[in-house]
Amino acid sequence: MSKKPTTSQDVAKLAGVSRTTVSFVLNDVKGIQISGDTRRKVLKAAEELKYVPNAAAQALASQRAKIIGLILTRSPHHIATDAFITQIVNGLLGVIHQHDMRLLFDIIEPEHQRKAYLQMARAKRIDGILLSGPRSDDDALKILGEEGFPTVLIGQLPGTGFCSVDVDNRAAAKNAVTHLVNLGHDRIACITNAQPSYTASADRLAGYKDALDEAGLHFDESLVRYGDFDVESGYVQMFSLLEGGISFTSAFVASDTVALGAKAAIRDHGLNIPHDIALVGFDDLPFSQYTDPPLTTVHLPVVELAQQGCNMLIQILQNEHPPSQHTILSTKLVIRKSCGANQL
């Protein structure tokens, strides 16, 4: 409606200085001394005119959009159930706001529009990318790497040069399954969090095998199912396991969300947790301690993952010195009641 967005020109005029000075004052440019007097004048004028610099102009001139892109590669359907995202966003925004930046959020479907975020990068709509759930079969990501676009992975992609923040999924999974072993279980089923093309999924399955190996237990393929991020997949896969005719007394479900579905399937079969089947999850979502029974699970430091990833990215953006780091944060097995009486 209003016809006259204030420009820095207006501010300059009102303050009786040039646009340059206005820019210097407002951006608090280092290495430039400005008399406290003019500074005050400029500030006052800007205030008076309610001046807000035009973002596009700023971006064009400075070559920095001051926007960080958070990209998730999942199907929209899966996003809807993902209790994770909110935590990631949460951790991210804290850091981003500190640096006076903004967050562009996007979801890319694995099958389609893979190049969407390549576009955003090339268009300089975003200064850097934080990518959660990297997949080994993602070409656009590879190109991003070749072009040297500032990128940090939340997760990992071995064999690439990307900076990343992650946990040791394999070790964590092994640890969780070993907990089951120590409780005396020798028939342990496994439902993954997602398809194996997601590295986290493959790693957690590997950890499951590691634990079995170490315990001298036989790896039985028929006890393994692949989850697909959401609650429903957990239900379906556990159901299939239960109908499968193979007996087992416990299960490692590599995602709390999926575990919730698995739990419902167990209940619907008239079985009791932990009496008939002991359950261990992965992620430790906010609701996991409130399920019935409270879920024993691997705590994932999601907020920290996001924060550190973001800090890393901002560092790259500033230094031009890609630290080329791979940070690994530690997980912790949280023992609650879904595996039986209190150990420890």
Residues that bind DNA (CB under 7 A): 5-9, 16-21, 23-24, 26-27, 29, 32-35, 37-39, 51-54, 57-58, 60-63
Question: Taking the complex as a whole, how short is the minimal distance between the CB of residue 13 and DNA, in angstroms?
Answer: 11
Non-local CB neighbours of 27 within 8 Å, separated by 6+ positions? none
Distance of CA 327 to the CA centre of its chain: 14
Binding partner selected for residue 296 from a second copy, DNA, none, CB under the kind-specific 5 to 8 Å limit: none
Distance of CA 158 to the CA centre of its chain: 17
Q: Which stretch binds a second copy (CB under 8 A): 20-28, 189-197, 214-222, 255-263?
A: 255-263
Q: Which of residues 121-180 bind a second copy (CB under 8 A)?
A: 122-125, 147-148
Binding partner selected for residue 81 from DNA, a second copy, none, CB under the kind-specific 5 to 8 Å limit: a second copy
Binding residue for a second copy, selected from 33, 36, 290, 318, defined by CB under 8 A: 290
Of 87 and 175, which CB lies nearer to a second copy in the complex structure? 87
Count Cα atoms within 13 angstroms, Cβ side, for 94.
Answer: 13
Cis peptide before 274 (omega within 30 of 0): yes
Of 27 and 86, which CB lies nearer to DNA in the complex structure? 27
Distance of CA 263 to the CA centre of its chain: 25
Using rule CB under 8 A, residue 334 touches a second copy: no
C-alpha dihedral (254, 257, 261, 266), degrees to nearest 10? 50
Tokens representing 296?
């024993």
Asked if 313 and 126 count as a contact pair (C-beta separation under 8 A), the reply is no
Tokens representing 292?
């019935």
Of 54 and 327, which CB lies nearer to a second copy in the complex structure? 54
Using rule CB under 8 A, residue 2 touches a second copy: yes
Using rule CB under 8 A, residue 18 touches a second copy: no
Of 47 and 139, which CB lies nearer to DNA in the complex structure? 47
What DSSP element (H or E) covers 36?
A: helix 36-48
- Secondary structure of 123-137 as H, E, C letters: CCCCCEEEEECCECC
Question: Taking the complex as a whole, how short is the minimal distance between the CB of residue 15 and DNA, in angstroms?
Answer: 8
Of 124 and 142, which CB lies nearer to a second copy in the complex structure? 124
Using rule CB under 8 A, residue 321 touches a second copy: no
